């Protein structure tokens, strides 16, 4: 019986992992891995891509606020499955290579499907899976596993793209690139639909567990918000997530950095973006295990320190096409810092002693401010890169990242002091 329950538990977290990253492949992962190609085939520049992300962020901003309370009323599997199906439909439209205006509308649509319907149910389901003493492991598995799924999607995408390019990529026309990339989008959309079907049929036991742990008590939305506002740690979590997410958004430019500064071609730069994602699952699992043995907030502090130091290193401008190994080492350290903070910033909800019954509302409320980089980070990075082409623009981006890392470090130190005081009171 225990073996059967253990297998079911593993299968559930695997489903959450696959769903948790598949939902973001179309709006984010493809653009991160194939950024130079993505800009060319959609005929947009860095600022215009940033504006697409900004439209996504505005819709997501509203969706976090209302979607959180939705997660406290309906089964996670239903909301997540519908979100996956709707996102995949958007992918088939993306494969028609719409205009810049239509792309902005599409990213707004993605903001609704990925956040309003999906985000809070996924976080709540993961918290339930982890229980009281395995939050670090649960969110470590979730984010680390999501990194592996993203890397797998990336590897598959690079494979499909390179296979469909029948001539040398440096000589490929816009039409050749679009024809090849169309298959990447189609394959991604088809896989998202398959994952949505699995989520709907196999996450039922977890949805039942959520109801049981809440004693099937449905709290009114207004009461939920009043409860959430009483926790000072909630406000600090907003700032922690905001700063950590700026760091994560900055990793979007590594494939472009490889092309602009190191001279890689489109396929080579896409491979750099893909390799970066493989660091995420390793970091996620290791940091998650360590966090359960100490305190999750401690490892977020360490993550921000690494982020700040490595971003200052990139901002210094000493990395060039003659220092490839230095670039690789710097990217690894940067990724470890970014992913360490990302893995744990929802795991500290247990450290903050937030009740399970208001988890969905708390996630939505925290995310309203925490994920505002979806609104401003894309355009900000686009302006910095386009106004100072080449290496200088990248240096400016990493200097900004260092500033956010410092703010996040201070916020996490304050969070740690407050929660440690509660434990000793």
Within 10 angstroms of residue 14's Cβ, the number of other Cβ atoms is 15
Please check whether residue 278 is in contact with residue 251, taking contact to mean a CB–CB distance below 8 angstroms: no
Per-residue DSSP letter, 414 = H
Number of structural domains the chain divides into: 1
Q: Is residue 375 part of a domain?
A: yes
> Where are the alpha helices (H) located in 279-318, listed in sequence order?
279-293, 296-315
pTM over 0.95: no
CB-side neighbour CA atoms (13 Å) of 341: 33
CA dist., res. 140 & res. 286, Å (int): 8
Q: Is residue 225 part of a domain?
A: no
- What is the SS3 assignment for 15? helix
Of 366, 69, 149, the residue nearest 244 (C-alpha): 366
Q: Is residue 3 part of a domain?
A: no
Q: Is residue 218 part of a domain?
A: no
Q: Is residue 195 part of a domain?
A: yes
Q: What pLDDT is stored for residue 12 in this prediction?
A: 86
Per-residue DSSP letter, 134 = -
Q: What pLDDT is stored for residue 18 in this prediction?
A: 92
Angle at CA 169, nearest 5°, toward 164 and 174?
Answer: 80
Average pLDDT for consecutive 10-residue bins of the chain (425 residues)? 67 90 92 87 91 92 80 82 96 96 97 91 81 70 79 84 76 81 94 94 70 50 69 88 91 80 77 75 79 84 94 84 77 87 79 74 81 87 87 90 96 90 56
Residue 177 sits in a domain whose CATH number is 1.20.1250.20
Report helix, strand and coil shares of the chain as percent, to nearest 5: 85, 0, 15
Residues 6+ apart with CB under 8 A from 182: 95, 97
Q: Is residue 112 part of a domain?
A: yes
Q: Is residue 304 part of a domain?
A: yes
For residue 156, the enclosing domain spans 8-212+230-424
**Dihedral of CA 59/188/129/215: which sign?**
positive
Helix (H) or strand (E) holding 185: helix 174-202
Q: Is residue 217 part of a domain?
A: no
């Amino acid at each position: 019986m225990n073996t059967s329950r253990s297998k079911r538990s593993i299968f559930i977290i695997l489903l959450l992992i696959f769903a948790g990253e598949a939902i973001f492949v179309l709006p984010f992962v493809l653009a991160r891995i194939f950024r130079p190609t993505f800009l060319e085939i959609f005929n947009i520049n860095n600022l215009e891509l940033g504006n697409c992300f900004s439209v996504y962020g505005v819709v997501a901003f509203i969706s976090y606020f209302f979607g959180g309370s939705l997660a406290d009323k309906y089964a996670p599997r239903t909301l997540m499955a519908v979100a996956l199906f709707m996102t995949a439909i958007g992918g088939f439209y993306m494969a028609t290579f719409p205009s810049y205006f239509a792309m902005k509308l599409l990213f707004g649509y993605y903001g609704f499907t990925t956040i309003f319907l999906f985000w809070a149910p996924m976080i709540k389901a993961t918290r339930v899976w982890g229980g009281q003493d395995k939050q670090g492991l649960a969110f470590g598995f979730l984010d680390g596993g999501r990194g592996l799924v993203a890397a797998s999607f990336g590897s598959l995408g690079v494979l499909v793209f390179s296979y469909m390019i029948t001539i040398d990529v440096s000589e490929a026309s816009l039409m050749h690139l679009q024809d090849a990339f169309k298959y990447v989008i189609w394959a991604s959309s088809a896989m998202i639909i398959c994952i949505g079907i699995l989520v709907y049929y196999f996450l039922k036991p977890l949805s039942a567990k959520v109801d049981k742990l809440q004693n099937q008590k449905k709290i009114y939305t207004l009461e939920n918000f009043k409860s959430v506002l009483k926790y000072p740690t909630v406000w600090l979590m907003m700032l922690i997530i905001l700063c950590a997410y700026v760091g994560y958004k900055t990793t979007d430019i590594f494939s472009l950095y490889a092309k602009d500064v190191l001279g890689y071609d489109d396929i080579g730069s896409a491979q750099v973006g893909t390799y970066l994602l493989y660091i995420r699952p390793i970091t996620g699992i290791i940091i998650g295990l360590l966090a359960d043995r100490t305190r999750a907030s401690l490892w977020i502090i360490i993550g921000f320190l690494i982020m700040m130091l490595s971003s200052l290193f990139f901002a210094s401008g000493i990395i060039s096409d003659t220092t490839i190994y230095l670039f690789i080492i710097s990217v690894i350290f940067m990724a470890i810092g970014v992913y360490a903070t990302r893995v744990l910033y929802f795991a500290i909800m247990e450290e903050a002693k937030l009740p399970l019954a208001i988890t969905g509302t708390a996630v939505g409320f925290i995310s309203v401010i925490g994920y505002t980089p979806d609104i401003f980070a894309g355009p900000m990075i686009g302006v910095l890169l386009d106004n100072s082409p080449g290496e200088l623009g990248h240096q400016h981006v990493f200097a900004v990242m260092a500033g956010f890392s410092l703010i996040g470090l201070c916020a996490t130190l304050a969070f740690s002091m407050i929660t440690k005081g509660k434990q000793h009171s």
